[in-house]
Amino acid sequence: MITCLRDGHDATLVAAAALICALGALVSTRMFNKVPGGEVAGRKAWHVLQAGLTGGATIWTTHFVAMIGFDPGVPVAYHPLLTMLSLVLAIAGVAGGLWMIARSRGTLLAEAGGAVIGLAVLGAHYIGMAGLRLSADLVWHPGMVIASVVLALGFGALTANRIARPRTRFCWYGGVVAFSLAIASGHFTAMGALTVAPHTVEVPLDGLVPDRTLAMLVLLVMGLFLLFGFSSFLIGEDARRDAAERLRRQSLHDPLTDLPNRTMLRNRLSQLLDSAGCGEVIVAVGIDLDRFKPINDVHGHAGGDALLLALSDRMTGLLGPQEMVCRNGGDEFIALKADAKGPEDAIAFARRLHDALTRPVDWQGFRLSVGASLGVALAPQHGGEVETLLGRVDLAMYRAKASSEQVVIYDPAMDEVSRARSLMAVELRAALELGQLEVHFQAQSDIPTRDLVGFEALARWRHPERGMIPPSDFIPIAEATGLIRELGVWVLNAACREAVSWAEPLRVAVNVAPQQLAQPDFAETVLDALLVTGLEPSRLELEVTEASLISDKRRAEEVMASVKAAGVRIAMDDYGTGYASLSTLQTFPFDKIKIDQSFIKPLGRDRQAAAIVRSTLILGEALGIPVLAEGVETETQLAFLDRARCREAQGYLFGKPCGAAETAERVREQWARKRAEFARGMSDAAAPGAAAAAAAAGR
């Protein structure tokens, strides 16, 4: 008798089997490591099948290479069906076990799947041995058989534990070792359980597979599966790299224009600042498109996107090798130039961009045209850090936007202005809390009689140190910081409270900022103010601009319907300065139109302004909407409006805005005058009757 492990093995082929075992375990485990997470069933099954094919082939090939290296001392052949069955079982067992591991989600199902892989090792070995044909008896040692089962199942479970519960990125290497040990220990322990007792008479081996033929078959199968495994692995790695590159590009580029985004901008600018040598000038240009929002509102996002794409292509087309343009978000861009020679070169670069941006873009029969405000900052003159330089680009860009200049280069004085604005924002919030704000009222009068018909409420700030601060200084800051919402609510409540105290029930008009109208609870805020102060809803008039309505028509319609249902009046403010006035008048239920003062001031010397005012009055009359003229300052303007049959006006001609006490006194005086006129009228009507009675008494 021959003990299998002690005698009859070719050390070279055993070493080859061990190498195949380790290599196959590495490839199949690595392939399984690429199985996607989540519930992507199709992709997951394909990856598991790939790993199962390679792992099963590794088990089968390791077994039969070792068996080919085993010389029992008698001729050996193999049953073809059982041999192939062992291969199928190995592949199915490994694939099934890996699928259980992939679906385990950290449960013991993973270790159970590893045990299935161990069973695949045992099944391939023992079925393969069952297909062994030789002139000898095979005697199995029960203890060693049990040991082979325990080792195969144990190392299979350990394989699953390492690849399903990784504590570090290198845990899968533990899975490779455990899988290799499961195959090797299962096979060689099982071979150690075998004792071969040769027969004295040889058994014919016709119709079986000779060991040499099997060797060629094993090498062919293993070669094919290793080639398949490596090819799949390489394809997977290429796909992974491609996906990683796509993700990296997506993370660094704008999805619409494909320009670099703000992340890539900061990375590139940081590199330029770090590598800049002595005398090198780096230029950063902030670009903000003017009049882009009206195009987006009128033509929709399709028109806005088409415009942004066209402008991005134009800027990209004129860039030099050391220049780049990034989309900073919305309608803002930032351009960089790394090889500038000084401020003149920077300004020339900015103007080149400006010229490209301001040429019209033809789209679907429309000619889309925008302006552009550009702010320029230079490094290192204006800052050597990314955030510092970009902050100063913003300051220059905002200065360009606020002025008539198209391109503005940063000046240190801008920092002082910015700090002053920030300080004013802090002080304005404190003024709201400390009661430093006041409401002044500007009279609205009937043109034929010049009687007061109402007042417009205006916010005023009486600063304890700087005195009265003009609204033109603090209202833009309130709008930019969001304080306009709190300020608007305060003005609304204060105006309603004062109007309740007037002797005559005149109307009070309150301006509504776009940010207020966008608030979900704005209608409730208005109704609460009326309820708390006790003002009749019909005496309150909310003045809204076209811009605040166009930004979100549906929301504006809902809010206006709510306040109108309560009896509050709605006036369109600054009529004529928007871009969709006629459609706005048709859509929204206005109670009044206020002609902007820019059309009133030129009356008497500008025929075009006069024509616009007349047409607005005709339109208002046709729609049944009263019209009020703003900014009336001269008798000439008033006379024109009277002839054109405009009924109401406001402006300095009727008095400047005044405080609450003076306003209440003006209302009281008018009310007293009207009462006196009424009394005189009553006495005049009674006078003929009294004279007749006296004459009758005398007779």
As annotated, the active-site residues are 630
CA 647 to chain centre: 50
Cα angle 485-486-488, degrees, rounded to a multiple of 5: 65
**For residue 95, what are its two tokens?**
């694939």
Specify the residue for token string 């806005």.
304
In which region does residue 631 sit, left (phi positive, over 0), alpha (psi from -120 to 50) or beta (all else)? left
* Cα–Cα distance measured from residue 97 to residue 99, given in angstroms and rounded to the nearest whole number: 5
In which region does residue 534 sit, left (phi positive, over 0), alpha (psi from -120 to 50) or beta (all else)? left
Specify the residue for token string 């692995």.
233
| Dihedral pair phi/psi, residue 562, rounded to 5° | -65, -45
Task: Note if the bond before 380 is cis, omega within 30 degrees.
Answer: yes
What is the DSSP secondary-structure string of 208-227?
A: SEEHHHHHHHHHHHHHHHHH
How would you classify the pairing of strands 281-290 and 332-340? antiparallel
| Dihedral pair phi/psi, residue 536, rounded to 5° | -65, 130
* Cα–Cα distance measured from residue 415 to residue 396, given in angstroms and rounded to the nearest whole number: 10
409 strand-pairing partners = 376
| Dihedral pair phi/psi, residue 167, rounded to 5° | -95, -25
The answer to whether the beta carbons of residues 77 and 133 sit under 8 Å apart is yes
Give the E-state strand segments of 561-641 in sequence order: 569-575, 592-595, 627-629
